[in-house]
Amino acid sequence: MAADSPTKATGATGSWRDYWVLATNRDFVLLWLGQLAFYVGVGLSGLSFLFFASGEFSSFLRLFAPIAAGLLLPIIVFAPVAGVVADRISRKAAAIAAALVLLMVCLTMSLLGDRMLQEGFPAATWCYAGLVVLAVSAAVFHSAKTALIPQIVPKVQWTAANSLCCFAAPLAAAVVPFLSARLNGAEPMSLPVYFRYCSLAALLCAAFVAWVEPQSSRSRGTQRTERLALAAAVREGIRYIHEHRRVVQLVVLSATVYFAAGLVVATVLSVVRLVRNMGDWGENPLLSALVLSLSMTAGAIITTLTQQWIRSADRVVARCFFFMALAILPFGLWRRMLAEEAAGPRIYWEVVAPLLMVIGAFGGALVVLVVTLLQRSTPQRLHGRIFALNGLGDATAILLAMIISAWLLPRGLTGLIVLIACIALFAASTGIRFSDEFARHTIIRWITRVVLRLYCRVEHEGREHVPLTGSLIVAANHSSWIDTFLLGAAVPRLIHYLAAREYYDRWYMRWFMRMFGTIPIERGKGHREPLNRALWALRRGRCIGIFPEGHMTKTGQLQKFQGGVALMAEETGAPILPAAIIGAFECWGPRMRFPRPRKVRVRLGRPIDPRGLSREEILARLEAAIRALLEKKGSECP
């Protein structure tokens, strides 16, 4: 993720005024009410299908098969198609179509459900079929709804709008058990009654969304999608994600949140056994959903209001992951907290509520940030497909979490499940920090410095000559495989190296070179593109590392310099820092397979100002400076 300011990155003003503006935005209020009605309808109908498919809600394991096969797998399979539907027609029409599909299913089940079940048809067949249709309609509605927000809400209110939409889903999850308890009562669950209320919710959703009036000027791009075949449109969305590392990072971060939440929630619901030990099905899920809903809303709102005081978006997300893992870690280490025999009335407020609060608060903050950054980082014509593929990643993460939980819970390894969630969150936090170029370079530089000092007894001289700001070219002799590491450890700046293409194309080196922004060049060819990239970096005050000889020496002696370094210095006026690496040839020269423990010294000279000098004069001064650093003692170096 980029290290931009969150206010700049998400476009939020970070004040309560955003929420007041949204409350007076007729289109957003209608969309939010339609979303709430849709989730209530999906929740009630899904609850009915799950009951008849599993027979009861006594444990997590009995719900695993219908949730995995009926809800998650259809979302994974049909999410790309759902995204194309949301992009090919208007997002408003896609959302209405999803609500009408839900209405059709609910009306059919309310009219014919009991008759279908009484005439010998297996209940599981109808329930799984209904769950599949619900999953597909939910995938279409979610992608269309999220893509519709930028068309009805100004950019500065996107974060606040996403935080309110984040509140709608858990609020619906709280309303569904309440309605279920009221409808069920002392009588057995009645299929027609449930689906009549689901039909009413679906009808309200379609009516609310139909009144939304998105700005037509922001719905461009659908004509291009209409001309593409279905498979080509899906490939276009996947290709866009693949080619933009920032979008990949956001999708992975969102999936990590859902993976950890799935592990923790499955553990809580299965081990503490809310249904059996703490009351009936209707009351405790309502309380848990309310706790989760309020926590998610609090985390989302706090994130929205504090963005103007936060300097870096990636640091916010990294810290959220870190503190989220830190907060749930004790529950994994203290086994008795999650022990089956500890389940009872007190365990709810000692274990369940704190876990739900942590997951809800940090999860709400992270989901809002990720969705807002996705909205701003991708073109609007691809929003439907991008958010559908993001939902595919989330569903895959939840499915993986359920598989792990279903495998470990019967073995009594509840603490291990929470520890796996902690490891995933810590890994995400570390990955975010490591994705920042400067932080990545700092970590690698310190590790390299320690390893080289222990193995090669490396000494650094002349570090006081290094300009800490502004454009800079670091030029050194090239005699060893570890020259780049030696320079990186000696120069206290992030260096972007120019490297030969044959090294860049090796699979075991490509990832490392890409990670540090290495610029590949062709030997003996006058390609302008690598040079333009280097000039672009220098003009923006960055540091470029180059070996003027153009190749690694096979004799240990300084070779003839090429003219690329002089050309870059002449065109940009960037000073050249001469560097000499002494002893590296004996440590790990080009003809050696493995390094040898030899003493290495890195000497840095005073920068050379190229302004007013010709290319020949620049090369001559640079070569003379590096030779002096190689041949003279440190105190005599220029």
Q: For the segment 258-293, what is each residue's pLDDT rounded down to a tens digit?
A: 888 888 777 766 655 543 444 443 345 556 667 777
Check: CB of residue 262 under 8 Å from CB of residue 397.
yes
Tell whether 331 and 474 lie within a shared domain. no
Give the residue among 472, 463, 489 at the shortest CA–CA distance from 543.
472
Tell whether 631 and 598 lie within a shared domain. yes
Tell whether 128 and 243 lie within a shared domain. yes
Report which secondary-structure segment, H or E, holds 460: strand 459-461
Inter-helix orientation angle 313-333/414-435, to 10° = 160
Domain end (from 377, 400, 435): 435
Boundaries of domain holding 571: 438-636
Domain end (from 410, 435, 460): 435
How many helices (H) and strands (E) in the chain?
27, 7
What is the model's pLDDT at position 10?
A: 42
Torsion sign, CA atoms 494, 499, 501, 507: negative
Q: Is residue 105 packed enough to be buried (19+ CB in 10 Å), middle (13-18) or exposed (0-12)? A: buried
Give the residue among 35, 27, 9, 39 at the shortest CA–CA distance from 159.
9
What is the model's pLDDT at position 227?
A: 53
Tell whether 381 and 498 lie within a shared domain. no
Domain end (from 388, 417, 435): 435
Q: How many domains does the chain have?
A: 2
In a domain, residue 362? The reply is: yes
What is the model's pLDDT at position 188?
A: 47
How far apart are the C-alpha atoms of 389 and 233, rounded to whole Å? 12
Q: What are phi and psi of 24, to 5 degrees?
A: -95, 0
How far apart are the C-alpha atoms of 557 and 340, rounded to whole Å? 72
The three-point CA angle 449-452-456 to 5° equals: 150
In a domain, residue 299? The reply is: yes
Six-digit token string for 340: 């089956």
Q: Is residue 559 packed enough to be buried (19+ CB in 10 Å), middle (13-18) or exposed (0-12)? A: middle
Check: CB of residue 471 under 8 Å from CB of residue 539.
yes
Tell whether 589 and 459 lie within a shared domain. yes
In a domain, residue 581? The reply is: yes
Tell whether 78 and 111 lie within a shared domain. yes
Predicted confidence (pLDDT) per residue in 385-401, tens digit: 888 888 888 889 988 98
The pTM (predicted TM-score) of the whole model is: 0.71
Tell whether 519 and 402 lie within a shared domain. no
CATH number, domain at 516? 3.40.1130.10
Tell whether 283 and 134 lie within a shared domain. yes
Tell whether 429 and 443 lie within a shared domain. no
Residue type for 80, please? Answer: P
CATH number, domain at 282? 1.20.1250.20
In a domain, residue 32? The reply is: yes
In a domain, residue 471? The reply is: yes
In a domain, residue 279? The reply is: yes
Check: CB of residue 52 under 8 Å from CB of residue 188.
no
What is the model's pLDDT at position 60?
A: 52
Q: Side-chain half-sphere of 213: how many Cα atoms within 13 Å?
A: 2
Six-digit token string for 83: 């995204």
Torsion sign, CA atoms 500, 505, 509, 510: positive
Tell whether 340 and 351 lie within a shared domain. yes
Give the residue among 285, 303, 430 at the shortest CA–CA distance from 361.
303
Check: CB of residue 165 under 8 Å from CB of residue 145.
yes
Residues lower than pLDDT 70 in the chain:
1-15, 51-66, 69-70, 112-125, 174, 177-192, 216-229, 268-289, 307-313, 332-351, 434-440, 503-505, 507-508, 510-512, 514-517, 523-527, 632-638
Tell whether 270 and 355 lie within a shared domain. yes
Tell whether 161 and 27 lie within a shared domain. yes
In a domain, residue 366? The reply is: yes
Strand partners, 461: 603
In a domain, residue 1? The reply is: no
**SS3 label, residue 545:** strand
